[in-house]
Amino acid sequence: MNELQQNFRDRLLAAEKSTPSEKYRKDLANLRVRKMSRAQRVAMIAPMLFCVAAAIRMASPALNPPQNLPMLARIGLGVGAVGSLVWAVLMGIVVKRGVIRRKSDPVVMNRILVTMFAVATGIAGFLALGMPDRARGTQVLVVEAILLLIASVFLIQSLIEQAELRTREKLLELEMQMQEVAEQLRQSADTKH
Amino acid sequence: MKTSSKKEYGEHLYHELLVIRVRRGDASAFEELVRATETLMFYYVRRLVGNEEDAWDVLQDVWVKAFRGIGSLRETSRFRVWLYSIAHKTAMSHLRGAYRDRSFIDDSPAPETAEDLSERPNPDEAERVHAALDGIELPFREVLTLHFLEDLSVEEAAQIIGVPAGTVKSRLFHAKQALKKVLKREENV
C-alpha cells in the first residue's frame, strides 16, 4: 500500500460511524475472566477440601514416619503435602474472587501439577532402585522413566517455544526501533532539502 | 496487489509483537491487540452482516474465538490472515446459508486485459465508495473491502474467503466493475 492507498483506507474507515453497544464493551472487558456461578463456586470447594485432606494425609507420615519409611519417601510425601496445600490455597483464592482468569490461573495450576509430578516420579524412581524385589523394582522404574520422558518432552517443548517467542519479540522490537530511526532520518533529510 | 508502505509495515510488526506477547502470557496485550485492529475488523464485518448491532455481536464472537485460539497460532506473521478468516467464518455462520448459495455470483474469469488489480480509487472518493459498497453483491463487497483495507496477496485473500486464488482475482475484477456501475448510477441520480 502506498501513501495514497493508505489515505484512501483511512478515509474509508472514518466514513464508518459506529459506536459499540454497551453489551459489546462489557463482554469484551470480561473476555479475560470467566465469572463463576454460585454453583460453580460451591462445586470448586469439593476439590479444594480434597487437596487439604490429601495434604494432611501426606504430611502426617512425612512428619511422624512409620518404621522403615525411607527418607526419600518422606521427602516425596512432604513435597506432595506442600503442593496439595498450594493447590488448595489457589483454589480458595479463585473461589473467593469468584472469577477465573482464563489465561493465568490454569497456567499456574498446571505448573504446580507438572512440578509435583516431576518430583514424585523422580523420587519413586529412586525408591524403586532400592526395592528388594528386583523384577518389581525394574517394572516401576520403566514406568517412571516413560512418564518422566513424556513430562520432559512437554517441558522442553514449552521451554523452546517460550525461548523462540522471546527471541522473536526482541527481534521485532529491534526492527520497529530501526524503522522509527530510519523514519526520523528520512524526515530530517527532507527538512534539510 | 502488494507493495507495503512504511506505516503499514510498522502496523503489521506491531500486531505481530502483540500476538507474541499474548502467547507469552501477557493477557493485557490482547486488549491492546483488540484496540489496534478493532476499527478494521468492524469495517470488514459490518460489510458482511446486515446491521450494526449484528456486526458488533459477530465481532465479539470473533474476539472470543481469537482469544481462545491465539495460543495455537504458530506463525505469528500470519495473524492478519488468521484473524480475517475467523471473522469471515463467524460472519458466514451468522448469515447461515444465504451466502453459500453462490449461484447468483459471477465467478467467470477476469479478462486477460483486465486492469491492474492493485489500483484503488482516489482518496477523495472514499466517502462515496463507502456508501456504494452497500449497493454491490455480498461476495464482491467482501473481496473489495479486503482489498481496500489490507495489502493482501491474492493467495492470502483466497485463504480468508476459502475460495481458489483465481476466484478472488475474478471476483475482484467483477467487484470493481460493479462498484463503478453503482458510482456512475449515483452520479446520474
Q: What is the pLDDT along chain B (189 residues), one digit of tens a residue?
A: 444 445 566 788 899 999 999 888 787 888 899 999 999 999 999 999 978 888 999 999 999 999 889 988 888 889 999 999 999 999 999 987 555 544 445 566 655 544 555 667 778 889 999 999 999 999 999 999 999 999 899 999 999 999 999 999 999 999 999 999 999 988 876
Neighbours of A181 (CB within 10 A): 10
Q: What are B94's three cell numbers?
A: 451468522
Task: Rounding to the nearest 10 degrees, give the CA dihedral for residues A65, A68, A71, A72.
Answer: -110
In a domain, A72, yes or no: yes
Closest chain B residue to A29 measured between Cα atoms? Answer: B31
Q: Say what percent of chain A tops pLDDT 70.
A: 99
Terminal C-alpha separation, chain A? 26
Average model confidence (pLDDT) across chain A: 83
Residue A157 lies in a domain: no
Closest CA of chain B from A186, distance in Å? 12
Q: State which residues form the domain around A108.
A: 34-130
* Greatest distance between any 2 Cα atoms in chain A: 90
Question: Residue A179 and residue B129: Cβ atoms within 8 Å?
Answer: no
b vs e for B35-44, b when ≥16 Cβ sit within 10 Å of the residue's Cβ?
eebeebbbbb
Q: What pLDDT sits at residue B131?
A: 92
A174, part of any domain: no
Task: Collect all residues with Cβ–Cβ distance below 8 Å to A173 and sequence separation of at least 6.
Answer: B17
Among A112-126, A127-141, B31-45, which stretch is predicted with the lowest mean pLDDT? Answer: A112-126
* Cα(A68)–Cα(A172) distance, integer angstroms: 58
Q: Give the other-Cβ count within 10 Å of A139's Cβ.
A: 13
Predicted pLDDT at B140: 94
Domains in chain B (CATH in brackets) are 6-98 (1.10.1740.10), 110-188 (1.10.10.10)
Q: Give me the mean pLDDT over the A129-146 stretch.
A: 79
Mutation target vs B (from A164, A172, A180; most B CBs, 10 A cutoff)? A172
The rounded distance, in Å, linking the Cα atoms of B17 and A160 is 18
d(CA A189, CA B75): 36
Q: What is the pLDDT of residue A69?
A: 79
What local confidence, expressed as pLDDT, does residue A103 receive? 67
Query: Nearest to residue B24, comparing CAs of B71, B62, B69, B65?
Result: B71
| pLDDT digits 0-9 by tens, A65-107 | 887 778 878 888 888 899 889 889 988 998 998 888 776 777 7
Element (H, E) at B95: helix B79-95
Which element (helix H / strand E) includes A125? helix A104-129
Q: What is the DSSP letter of A132?
A: S
How many C-beta neighbours within 10 Å does residue B77 have? 15
How wide is the angle at C-alpha A20 spanned by C-alphas A15 and A25, nearest 5°?
150
Partners of B56 on chain A (C-beta within 8 Å) are 18, 20-21, 23-24
| B63:A31 CB<8 A | yes
Q: Which of residues 21-80 of A touch B (CB under 8 A)?
A: 21, 23-24, 27-28, 31-32
The beta-carbon neighbor of B149 closest among A2, A9, A31 is A9
Cell 463463576, located at residue: A36
In three-state secondary structure terms, A101 is: strand
Q: Does A133 touch chain B (CB under 8 A)?
A: no
Is residue A53 in a domain? yes
What is the per-residue pLDDT for B165? 93
How many domains does chain A fold into?
Answer: 1
Inter-chain touch B148–A8, beta carbons under 8 Å: yes
Helix (H, G, I), strand (E, B) or coil at B107: coil
Q: Which three cell numbers stand for residue B17?
A: 509483537
What local confidence, expressed as pLDDT, does residue B123 receive?
A: 80
Residue A152: the pLDDT is 77
Q: How many residues does chain A have?
A: 193
